[in-house]
Amino acid sequence: MHFRPISPRSVLILSCGVAVLGAAMPVSHAAEIRTFHSADGKPLKASFEGMSGDLIVLKREDGRVFSLAKDKLSQADQAYVFQIAQRAGDEAQKLNAAAGHKITNGVRLAERKAEELAKALGIRPESTSKYGSSWRLYAAYAKDYRLFGAMPYSVALYSDQAGLVSSISLVYANKGDFGSTAGMGKDHFKGGTEATAESLAKAMTQDEEAVAKSLTSVLGEAKVQRYGEGKTRRKVSRWDWNGHSFLLSNEENEYVSLAVIPTELADAGGKSVMTKDADLKKRLLASIARSPDGDVLLTDIPMVDQGPKGYCAPATFERAMRTMGLEADMYLLAMVGQSQAGGGTSMENLLEGVRRQVFSKGRRIKEVAAEELRIRDFKRYIDEGIPIMWAMCSADEYNEAADQFTEKRKKLSDWKAHAAEITAMAAEWADTPKPESNHHICLIIGYNEATQEIAVSDSWGPRFELRWVPVPVANWANVGGLFMILP
């Protein structure tokens, strides 16, 4: 048999499907090692991984992947490949029926356009950057939305910089969303929760059982493994199909989640590859935009919409970690930070929980006490492309000023007069009693030293991705804590 080795990138493309009567078909989740024979009878132990055109992809026992023309195989092996394609095609239809949405179109998720999948799942854009995009839906606000037999409170889809699917994250009953009486965005401060420990536990059990039943009906019984790093390591039930894995977990009193990720990442137990410092620093510097009017702004910060729950700290940490090339999920971080139902996260616990994960990837967390917020004290971090997590009180007066100045800037022509107006505000805001409620954490992603304004980004969705706040207003709302993740 003459085999041609193929590159890892080619494997992603070729293993996405097998061609049967001109149609791309997915690979079965049960890729077994068997003895193939060439047309002239030579044996080779391998598993069938996929097909593109007339090229068949096989993986040997040692893990090496090869391709060969279909007619180089024996007639019996060609028939075997055809049977797998038929079976996998049936599974694809059954999986879509179990999901209640067209979650697969016959190709591996890693080769599917994320925008097309987002449309199929009915979820909206959340964030776009040069390095990837995301879409999210809080299904409690959608009518009769179900995925795998239960309503996911959060559906999040992530893409790589080529626009292809990276992963899907579904979070079902959880202590942040379940029973929440809060609204979205700024309105989440006004709510709480009607959930009890008993009602949450019951809902979590029901959701876990429904999702497991849906997947088992198509893919058979799950296997159990450990997944994640540090304090986010947990036990999951795993089903594999067509180059990706479905990981279902139930963290007691926290959440039920289903992650859909590449099988390679599941095999690695969730241990992601570290972005090299040199590559990260280059990427961070490339994200800085400077305007003639003095604005310095970070442009590639991923958005995370925390939804109707008080997960501002976990959501903001996720955004900062992803900016610094670290994998993160606000629901996992909420568990680490011991966030309470209805909101409230222990910064001490959260910092302790993520510090080791950040350090293991060659990064470090820096904390700075800042009783007075001054641009000169933090601008060097922004000038390196590093976002700053800022602890403050998101009071109504602060939000009104942020909205007004952000709108005003869109039509601004006299920047000197604008700067003078902000300078005159200092005494007025200094004499105003400071707020003591609506404790919050958001990102500082830019500044204008001439006008004395900072650019702030709240984890409340695209509408709150950028607002400009005068320093006197920011100081009025300031609680005194700045946090950065550094290379």
Domains, the chain, in order of start with CATH, read: 4-99 (2.30.30.700), 109-267 (3.40.1000), 277-486 (3.90.70.10)
The CA distance from 324 to 386, in Å, is 8
Is residue 372 scored above 80 in pLDDT?
A: yes
Burial annotation 411-429 (CB, 10 A radius, 16+ → b, else e): eeeeeeebbeebeebbeeb
- Which pLDDT tens digit goes with each residue over 29-46? 445 788 999 888 888 888
Give the sheet arrangement for strand 55-60, strand by strand.
4-5, 65-69, 55-60, 43-52, 34-37
Confirm if 445 and 284 have CB atoms less than 8 A apart: no
pLDDT for 324-364, tens place per residue? 988 888 888 887 766 665 555 666 777 776 777 787 777 88
Average pLDDT of the segment spanning 298-327: 89
Mean pLDDT, residues 213-237 taken together: 89
Please give the pLDDT value at position 52.
56
Q: How high is the pLDDT of residue 482? A: 93
3-state DSSP of 72-91:
HECHHHHHHHHHHHHHHHHH
185 CB-near residues (< 8 Å, 6+ apart): 458, 460, 461, 463, 464
Instruction: Give pLDDT, residue 10.
Output: 32
Band (pLDDT 50/70/90 cuts) for residue 299 is very high
Q: How many Å apart are CA 49 and CA 31, to the nearest integer?
A: 7
Q: Is the pLDDT of residue 9 over 60?
A: no
What pLDDT digit, counting tens, does each position of 74-120 carry?
Answer: 988 888 887 776 776 778 889 999 999 999 876 777 778 999 999 99
* pLDDT, averaged across the chain: 84
What mean pLDDT is predicted for residues 270-282? 83
Kindly tell me if the per-residue pLDDT of 399 is higher than 90: yes
Among 6-15, 193-202, 240-249, 355-364, name the one with the lowest average pLDDT: 6-15
For a pLDDT cut of 70, what percent of the chain falls above it?
85
Joined tokens for residue 71: 């007619």
The two three-digit tokens of residue 100, written as one number = 């209640």
Least confident of 186-190, 269-273, 367-371, 394-398: 186-190
User: Looking at residue 186, what is its pLDDT?
Assistant: 60
Q: Is residue 413's pLDDT more than 80?
A: yes
d(CA 6, CA 10): 6
pLDDT top residue among 322 and 19: 322
Residue 356 burial (CB count, 10 A): 12
Lowest mean per-residue pLDDT among 170-184, 187-201, 223-237, 266-280: 187-201
Residue 416 is predicted with a pLDDT of 93
Instruction: Write down the pLDDT at residue 58.
Output: 80
- Residue 11 confidence (pLDDT) above 50: no
Please tell me the predicted confidence (pLDDT) of residue 484. 93
pLDDT of residue 13: 27
- Lowest mean pLDDT across 165-169, 211-215, 340-344, 401-405: 340-344
